[in-house]
Structure 1
């Protein structure tokens, strides 16, 4: 536990974080995690965050040393995609019971589970995740992993991020520490070249990195390791021989990028593959970093030629959507890199952004948003469901872009909604991804269902007044009897 405390303090004292540098020494030790409100959703624990970062490593077995519920609640919580191995989709857990805890059988059961995975699947590595229960009872995970690695001849990596130590974001960073300590640099590649790069914080959601990688391939740039999206253990182990790196989500893995620069001299920058302009700028910066590291300067010219060609194709495809979407108002309820990159992408085609959330954004993210929107009134830290509903029901936005948690708020307000978070079904990165994003927004806004659901219900409409024919005395008596039964009026039999 003492080593875990040291890692947490090291993660909190992050020199590459501008917000952290502005704090005093006392405030720096507290990190960026906000105190939790009892009874409120915390947005995920440290174990959850570590699992999010590491599970997309597709050929690794991910073993949860915990009671069954810990794995059941965290399995497959990201829509990452794999181009090959599917082992990461298999759920492994030691399934500790109360009897195991009382009798001290946790470490023995963990060792046995590692052996069974080795014999049944033969993975290149097994990642072991302790959770709150196994951390509190004192199971020595690192010792068991070390012994198993020696015994079975494969990498067994302890990911020491039990849930109680902090938030999901802290777990992201602890996962990066585990890669630095046990994986990266453990294998020397025999094919290192001057055009090798790493992509950090890219999760390949819905396979969207596959829209970007062909662009890099055309420039002769090889992705040595994409961490963690569609990654392989061997690629990550060789990641220290890359020449440059691009940080996609600094909130998650800024510590990994900084320490790789310190240890192996791999320069990095933070960029985005969302939107035409940002994708082009990311390609330029990658090429420029490679040239600074010794690559042939001719790659700069080839990069500009590729950008000009791809931008022309993308703008031509988008031309048909501009008349239909120009002036439409979008409310963006997300965070992180999407809080500014998607904003910029939408504004490029004339869509008005009436608000964007910055709940999970860094100081750098917020500064970018201010530069793009030129108005702080469109930036909000977080918006509660009632406020969000009020804004949508008053028709201040034509569509809501958010995660699945707030989709029902939009539907209740009879407002189109599009999933922009990890559960999305369509890739939005790169030039083709931008075209797909605009197409999906157009489909959502122009869907004829919204005209129908906004119309008054038939039972709310006043029926047309029609002239009634005179009733006979028997018909009048029957009508009075019916009204008396229904309680609508008092009977009057005076004329009968």
Structure 2
């Protein structure tokens, strides 16, 4: 536990974080994570954050050393996609019971589970995750993993991020520490070249990195490791031989990028593949970093030629949507890199941003938003559901872009909504991804269902019809009225 405490303090004191550098020594040690409320960590604890970062490593077995309930649905945990192995989608857990805890059989059960996975699946590595229960009872995860690795001849990686130590974001960083300590640098590639790069913090949600990788392939740039999206264990193990790196989500793995630069001299920058301008700028910066590390400068010219070609194609496709979307008002309730990159992308085609959240955004993210919007009034840290509903029901926005947690607020307000978080079903990265995002916004805004749901309910209209009917006191008169109004529709009464 003392080693875990030291790792947490090291992660909190992050020199690469501009906000952290501005604090005094005591404040730096406290970090940026908000303290958890006991019993309210579900979905936002350190274990959840570590699993999110590492699970997309597709050929690895992810073993949860905990009671059964700590393991979630591995198949639909996030929208990350794999081009090959599906082992990462299989749930492995030691399924500890009360008797195992009382009798102290946790370590023995973990060792047995590792052996069973090795014999049944033969993965290149096994990642072991302790949770609150196994950390509190004192199971020595690192000792068991070390012994199992020696016994079975494969890497067994302890991911020491039990839920109670902090927030999801802290778990992201502890996962990066596990990769640095046990994985990266353990395999020497025999094909390292001057055009190898790493992409960090890219999760390949809905397969969107597959829209970007062909652009890099055309430039002759090889992605040595994409961490974690659609990754393979051996690729990550040899990631230390890349020449440059791009950080997509700095709040998750900034510590990984900084320490790889310190240990192996791999320079990195933070960029985005959302939007036409940001995608082009990311390609330029990748090429410039490679040239600084010894690549042929001719790649700069090829990059500009590729950018000009792809931008022309993308803008031509977007021309058809501009008249339908220009001036439409969008409310963004997301965070992190999307808080500024999606804003920039939408403004490029004339969409008005009436508000964007900066939850989980870094200081650099917030500064970018201010430069783009030129108005702090459109930026909010977080908005209560009641305020979101009021804003949408008063028609201050034409559509809301957010995650699944707030979709029902938009639906209750009878406002179009589009998912842009990890649960989304469509890829939005790169030039083609930007076209797809605009296409989906257009679909959502102009779906005829919104006109229908905003009309009065049928029973309200029936009340109006009954008020139009003359009062009758006899069965004969009633029959006459029914015959008179037979075949009449609600519209014949002028609505409600």
What is the TM-score normalised by the length of structure 1? 0.94
Deviation at 1:78, TM superposition (A): 1.2
Q: Say whether the 8 Å CA contact 1:325–1:351 is kept in structure 2.
A: yes
Instruction: Please give the per-residue CA displacement for 1:66-87, whole angstroms capped at 9, x wherever unaligned.
Output: 0000013676421100000000
Residues 485, 446 of structure 1: CA spacing in aligned structure 2 closer, same or farther, 3 A cutoff?
closer
Deviation at 1:457, TM superposition (A): 1.9
* Cα distance in 2 between the residues matched to 1:178 and 1:355: 37
Aligned residues: 496
Instruction: Please give the per-residue CA displacement for 1:226-259, whole angstroms capped at 9, x wherever unaligned.
Output: 0000000000000000000000000000000000
SS in 1 for 2:463: coil
Q: Say whether the 8 Å CA contact 1:196–1:224 is kept in structure 2.
A: yes
* Cα distance in 2 between the residues matched to 1:309 and 1:152: 52
Q: Say whether the 8 Å CA contact 2:74–2:89 is kept in structure 1.
A: no
Deviation at 1:479, TM superposition (A): 14
Residues 466, 21 of structure 1: CA spacing in aligned structure 2 closer, same or farther, 3 A cutoff?
closer
Residues 298, 491 of structure 1: CA spacing in aligned structure 2 closer, same or farther, 3 A cutoff?
closer
Q: Say whether the 8 Å CA contact 1:480–1:492 is kept in structure 2.
A: no
Deviation at 1:15, TM superposition (A): 0.0
**2:352 corresponds to:** 352
Instruction: Please give the per-residue CA displacement for 1:190-242, whole angstroms capped at 9, x wherever unaligned.
Output: 00000000000000000000000000000000000000000000000000000
Q: Say whether the 8 Å CA contact 1:480–1:491 is kept in structure 2.
A: no
Unaligned runs of 5+ in 1: none
Instruction: Please give the per-residue CA displacement for 1:289-346, whole angstroms capped at 9, x wherever unaligned.
Output: 0000000000000000000000000000000000000000000000000000000000
Deviation at 1:455, TM superposition (A): 1.2
Unaligned runs of 5+ in 2: none
Instruction: Please give the per-residue CA displacement for 1:33-59, whole angstroms capped at 9, x wherever unaligned.
Output: 123456766751000000000000000
Q: Say whether the 8 Å CA contact 2:47–2:129 is kept in structure 1.
A: yes
Q: Say whether the 8 Å CA contact 2:124–2:155 is kept in structure 1.
A: yes
Q: Say whether the 8 Å CA contact 1:355–1:378 is kept in structure 2.
A: yes
Q: Say whether the 8 Å CA contact 1:332–1:356 is kept in structure 2.
A: yes
Residues 98, 390 of structure 1: CA spacing in aligned structure 2 closer, same or farther, 3 A cutoff?
same
Q: Say whether the 8 Å CA contact 2:47–2:162 is kept in structure 1.
A: yes
* Cα distance in 2 between the residues matched to 1:66 and 1:491: 62
Does residue 1:341 correspond to 2:344, yes or no? no
Q: Say whether the 8 Å CA contact 1:400–1:418 is kept in structure 2.
A: yes
Q: Say whether the 8 Å CA contact 1:483–1:490 is kept in structure 2.
A: no
Q: Say whether the 8 Å CA contact 1:61–1:88 is kept in structure 2.
A: yes
* Cα distance in 2 between the residues matched to 1:254 and 1:91: 28
* Cα distance in 1 between the residues matched to 2:112 and 2:495: 95
Q: Say whether the 8 Å CA contact 1:36–1:42 is kept in structure 2.
A: no
Q: Say whether the 8 Å CA contact 2:275–2:430 is kept in structure 1.
A: yes
* Cα distance in 2 between the residues matched to 1:491 and 1:306: 56
Residues 87, 470 of structure 1: CA spacing in aligned structure 2 closer, same or farther, 3 A cutoff?
closer
Q: Say whether the 8 Å CA contact 1:130–1:159 is kept in structure 2.
A: yes
Bigger mean CA deviation after superposition, 66-75 or 416-425: 66-75
What is the TM-score normalised by the length of structure 2? 0.94
Bigger mean CA deviation after superposition, 399-408 or 483-492: 483-492
Q: Say whether the 8 Å CA contact 1:483–1:489 is kept in structure 2.
A: no
* Cα distance in 2 between the residues matched to 1:101 and 1:86: 32
- In the TM superposition, 1:104-183 aligns within 5 A as 104-183=104-183
Residues 484, 35 of structure 1: CA spacing in aligned structure 2 closer, same or farther, 3 A cutoff?
farther
What is the aligned-residue RMSD (CA, Å)? 5.4
* Cα distance in 2 between the residues matched to 1:491 and 1:140: 73
Deviation at 1:458, TM superposition (A): 3.2
Deviation at 1:456, TM superposition (A): 1.6
* Cα distance in 2 between the residues matched to 1:406 and 1:257: 32
SS in 2 for 1:50: helix
Residues 101, 322 of structure 1: CA spacing in aligned structure 2 closer, same or farther, 3 A cutoff?
same
Q: Say whether the 8 Å CA contact 2:197–2:244 is kept in structure 1.
A: yes
Q: Say whether the 8 Å CA contact 1:63–1:126 is kept in structure 2.
A: yes
Q: Say whether the 8 Å CA contact 1:198–1:225 is kept in structure 2.
A: yes
SS in 1 for 2:269: strand
* Cα distance in 2 between the residues matched to 1:260 and 1:489: 71
* Cα distance in 2 between the residues matched to 1:113 and 1:310: 50
Instruction: Please give the per-residue CA displacement for 1:128-152, whole angstroms capped at 9, x wherever unaligned.
Output: 0000000000001000000000000
Instruction: Please give the per-residue CA displacement for 1:165-210, whole angstroms capped at 9, x wherever unaligned.
Output: 0000000000000000000000000000000000000000000000
Residues 477, 204 of structure 1: CA spacing in aligned structure 2 closer, same or farther, 3 A cutoff?
closer
**2:98 corresponds to:** 98
SS in 1 for 2:34: coil
Q: Say whether the 8 Å CA contact 2:465–2:490 is kept in structure 1.
A: no
Residues 381, 432 of structure 1: CA spacing in aligned structure 2 closer, same or farther, 3 A cutoff?
same
* Cα distance in 2 between the residues matched to 1:327 and 1:468: 42
* Cα distance in 2 between the residues matched to 1:50 and 1:157: 13
Which structure's CA Rg is the greater one? 1
Q: Say whether the 8 Å CA contact 1:61–1:125 is kept in structure 2.
A: yes
Instruction: Please give the per-residue CA displacement for 1:349-374, whole angstroms capped at 9, x wherever unaligned.
Output: 00001000011100000000000000
Bigger mean CA deviation after superposition, 448-457 or 211-220: 448-457
Q: Say whether the 8 Å CA contact 1:46–1:163 is kept in structure 2.
A: yes
SS in 1 for 2:466: coil
SS in 2 for 1:397: coil
